[in-house]
A and B are shown apart, each in its own frame.
Chain A
Amino acid sequence: MKKAFGTLALLFLLGVLLVVASPSNGIKFGLGGEDWKTYRYTDEYYIQHGMDEVGGTNIVTDIVFDYRGYDTLGEATVLFTAIAGAVALLRPWRRDENEE
Chain B
Amino acid sequence: MRSDMGLIVKTTARATIPLIGIFGAYVVSHGHLTPGGGFQGGATIAGAGILFLIAFGFGEMKKRYNHHLYSVLEGFGGLVFLGAAMLGLGVAFFYNALWHEGPILNGQPGTLLSAGYLPIMNLAVGLKVFTGLISALFAIAAYRRWRE
Interface residues of A (CB under 8 A from B): 51-58, 60-62, 64-66, 69-70, 72-73, 75-77, 79-80, 82-83, 86-87, 90-93, 96
Contacts and interface: CB of A to CB of B under 8 A. Distances in A.
Given A65-B122, A79-B129, A80-B78, A55 B143 contact: no
B118 interface: yes
Interface of B: 31-35, 37, 39, 74, 78, 81-82, 85, 93-94, 96, 99, 106, 109-110, 114-118, 121-122, 125, 128-129, 132-133, 135-136, 139-140, 142-143, 145
Contact of A69 (B78, B94, B110, B142): B94
A55 B106 contact: yes
A77 B135 CA distance: 16
A61 B118 contact: yes
A54 B94 CA distance: 11
Contact of B32 (A58, A76, A82): A58
A37 B19 CA distance: 44
11 contacts: A52-B109, A55-B99, A55-B106, A64-B37, A65-B121, A69-B93, A72-B125, A79-B132, A82-B136, A87-B135, A87-B139
Nearest to B117: A65
Contact of A80 (B74, B140, B143): B74
A56 B46 CA distance: 25
Contact of A66 (B35, B81, B94, B106): B94
Contacts of A72: 81, 121, 125
A87 B96 contact: no
Nearest to B121: A65
Given A83-B132, A91-B139, A73 B118 contact: no
B119 to A, nearest CB: 9
Contacts of B32: 55-58, 61-62
A79 B128 contact: yes
Contacts of A65: 37, 117-118, 121-122
A56 B114 contact: yes
A87 B125 CA distance: 19
Nearest to B133: A83
A80 to B, nearest CB: 6
Contact of A54 (B82, B118, B122, B142): B118
